[in-house]
Amino acid sequence: MKSMSTVTRYMEACLLAACTLSFSQALALENSECMECHSDETLTKESTDNILQMELTKSLYVDEAAFNRSVHNANGITCVDCHADIEELNWDDDLPHAATLQPVQCVMCHEESAVEFKESVHMAMRTKGITMTCYACHGYHSVKQMASASVSERMDYVCLKCHNPYQSHDWLPSKEAHFANVDCVVCHSPEAPRHTHLRFFDLAGSTYYQTDSLMEKIGVKAKDFMATVDTDKDGAVNRDEFDDLMLRLKLKNIRTVLHAELVAAIDASAHGIVKQGAQKECSQCHCSNSSYFKAVNFVFTDPDGGLVHHEVDRSVLESYYVSHFYLLGGTRIKLLDKIGLIIVACGALVVLGHITIRVLTVPWRRKHSADSE
């Protein structure tokens, strides 16, 4: 049996631990405390941290609304999780924390991305004296949730900050079609997993359907979508189930088509951007068994901005409703094939008919020619 003094010491230790935990939690800084100053659009500081070593005015304003929509806030990341050298705020001073903070080390969380970035063309730029940082592409406080972004949104937010793809890619035919429907990372990070995203496009409103709006029109909840559409319960929407869905939408007077885009998964490997090793072989896409189209998904955005994938059979890409995504040798729209065969057959019949008539009328034409003489 434990002595009373042992029990007392044990209870005192528990009480001390509880008090220490409560005290540390009390010291945890809330984002709202930071925003008391940084929500001021006029907040600035003079800095010589630039290539000219000249004193320049630097804004310290943080758009709170944009930060609240960011992927970091969605995952519960606070200001001091990144600005880790701020341990407390002293409101008795003019400046409640150190005037100069340590640079944010993204690698603390994104170790795998850092490994991929190390071998990328962007890292190689740093050996030439060009400063290439994470926030050069991703921004500072409003890092977006890119998994649900379209090709144009990905290009506008990241690549087009520095690159004009029309000034290069001279070898690439149909530049407009490729840049509109294929994510840059698909070719420039060959190791990144790829998906074909299918989004419902509102022909009447000329915009993509929002998840809630589309589900309301269909008459199901988002969580019940697959249970309603995937009638054979195999976890994927096949061609017949897809046609049934499109008929159901048409009967509800919903005018829509599927817009398909080939995108790279948002994971660490997407940071291994290369130039010399970029994919330039057309046959990698334009072949009947291309690995680029193994993963085809309906994509919907959840309330937090994340992406919900629903697997779709590749044959859906052959549908009339995805006609803009026709790849010569890669996907086949059977209706177009049938129309093409009919045109070829009709042309052949006209030629054959003409030859047959000429052969059959040879005696008559000879006799007519003799009579004329």
Are residues 316 and 364 located together in one domain of the fold?
no
Are residues 151 and 76 located together in one domain of the fold?
no
Strand ranges for the chain from DSSP E: 44-47, 56-59, 194-202, 207-208, 256-264, 296-301, 307-312
Q: Which domain holds residue 50?
A: 35-134
pLDDT of 359: 85
Are residues 200 and 293 located together in one domain of the fold?
yes
Least confident of 97-111, 281-295, 320-334: 320-334
Are residues 307 and 344 located together in one domain of the fold?
no
Are residues 344 and 319 located together in one domain of the fold?
no
pLDDT of 266: 86
Number of domain units in the chain: 3
Neighbours of 73 (CB within 10 A): 19
Question: How far, CA to CA in Å, does 61 sit from each of 30, 47, 65, 102?
Answer: 17, 15, 12, 18
- From 134, 164, 194, the end of a domain falls on 134
Are residues 258 and 345 located together in one domain of the fold?
no
Which whole number is the average pLDDT over 201-223?
87
- The tokens for 15 are 């009480």
* CA angle (112, 113, 114) in 5-degree steps: 90
Helix (H, G, I), strand (E, B) or coil at 118: helix
Tally: H helices and E strands in the chain: 16, 7
Are residues 225 and 357 located together in one domain of the fold?
no
Are residues 119 and 148 located together in one domain of the fold?
no
pLDDT of 329: 56
Is the CB of residue 23 less than 8 Å from the CB of residue 6? Answer: no
Are residues 127 and 161 located together in one domain of the fold?
no
pLDDT of 11: 41
Considering the domain boundaries, does residue 9 fall inside one? no
Which whole number is the average pLDDT over 147-168?
88
Considering the domain boundaries, does residue 25 fall inside one? no
Are residues 295 and 149 located together in one domain of the fold?
yes
Are residues 117 and 71 located together in one domain of the fold?
yes
Which of 230, 233, 347 lies closest to 298, judged by CA?
230
Residue 371 CB burial class (10 angstroms; 0-12, 13-18, ≥19): exposed
Tell me the pTM: 0.72
pLDDT of 358: 86
Mean pLDDT of the chain: 84
